[in-house]
Amino acid sequence: MRNRHLNIGLVGTGNVAWHLAPAFEDAGHRVVAVYGRTPKRTKEMASRLYDAEILDAPDFSGSGADIVLLAVSDDYIGEVSENVAVDNGCLLVHCSGNVNVKALWTGHTSEIGVFYPLQTFSKNKSVDFETVPFCIESSSEASAKMLVGLAESLGSEQVSEMDSNQRASLHASAVFACNFTNHLLVMSKKICEKNGVGFEMLHPLLAETINKAMEIGPENSQTGPAKRRDFQTLEKHMDLLKDMSEAQGIYKTLTESILDLYGERV
């Protein structure tokens, strides 16, 4: 089953579809048909592909697609899966971390699944799929194998099968590790800028923080004034942030949480 060349249908023209479509073709698959709500963008995407038909409705019957991927925003998945048409036996999947696989269960096909790449995609930045973990879920073993094979054919070195609850947890945990971390960096940069120091000075420390956390576990890597219960420094920082209420609020919440977590061990 692995490395079998597949015919793929695609709904959506966002960043995920944009990067996946040519990557599929580079891996030897064929994107047979595409559908998107924005005609211009759909045409643009099709122009990157070998010979994809542009559909004016999400009707993939007769297209020869083995798989139809819904690479659309979470709140649009339900609507598309109501309206999509696929041939009998075609596998219908979505690419969302957060939406239950059952959202695809609308009677159009018995084969449904999830093909979720755990990475952040930007249109103008190329994606190295070897480093992208994929989360797979499916209604049958044969379909799961097909999706695992598809992810592996892109070069991915981390392909995991998991259910919708696990995937939702992973998604929530990614919000902490990535979206919230980025927001901390926004605050960090604001503090630097307010005081005329270069934010880029923090890059090595940040890189080491991530490496250490991944090497020995974040629970063994905590440092800083809250961890060592250095209340003098904590007060000094709170005072230093007095004109930046947003940053001060975050400082307070996270400091209290660290004090709570390690307090009992002192």
Candidates 83, 106, 110, 209: give the one binding a second copy (CB under 8 A). 209
Which residue reads 């209604």 in tokens?
139
Concatenating the DSSP letter of every residue in 154-172 gives: TT-S-EEE--HHHHHHHHH
Q: Can residue 152 be called a binding residue for a second copy (CB under 8 A)?
A: no
Toward a second copy, which CB reaches closer, 47 or 195?
195
**Does residue 179 belong to the site contacting a second copy (CB under 8 A)?**
yes
CB contact set of 206 (below 8 Å; sequence gap of 6+): 185
Q: Return the residues of window 38-67 that contact a second copy according to CB under 8 A.
A: none
Show the binding pattern over residues 74-113: x = contacts a second copy (CB under 8 A), - = does not. Answer: xx----------------------x---------------
* Tokens linked to 112: 């449904």
Residues 214-253 that bind a second copy (CB under 8 A): 214, 217-219, 221-227, 230, 232-233, 236-237, 240-241, 246-247, 249-251, 253
Going by the DSSP 8-state scheme, the letter that residue 85 receives in this structure is B
Where do the H-state alpha helices sit in 27-128?
A: 39-46, 74-83
Q: Which of 181, 229, 235, 263 contacts a second copy by CB under 8 A? A: 181
Answer for which of 50, 172, 235, 263 binds a second copy (CB under 8 A) is: 172
Span 109-148, contacts to a second copy by CB under 8 A? 118-120, 122, 125, 131-133, 135
Give the residue with the Cβ less far from a second copy, 26 or 128. Answer: 128
Q: Determine, following the binding rule CB under 8 A, whether residue 259 of this chain makes contact with a second copy.
A: no
How far apart are alpha carbons 251 and 234 in whole angstroms? 9
Q: How far apart are CA 260 and CA 263, in angstroms?
A: 5
Q: Which stretch binds a second copy (CB under 8 A): 30-38, 104-112, 142-150, 169-177?
A: 169-177
**Shorter beta-carbon distance to a second copy: residue 47 or 124:** 124
Residues 6 or more apart from 154 whose CB is under 8 A from it? 23, 24, 27, 129, 130, 132, 134
Binds a second copy (CB under 8 A): choice among 208, 229, 235, 263: 208
Whether the CB-CB separation of 31 and 6 falls below 8 Å is answered with no
**Beta carbon nearer to a second copy, 1 or 186:** 186
CA neighbor of 120 nearest in space, from 137, 110, 133: 133
Residue 63 beta carbon to a second copy: minimum distance, rounded to whole angstroms: 31
Closest CA to 65 of 111, 114, 6, 146: 6
3-state secondary structure of 74: helix
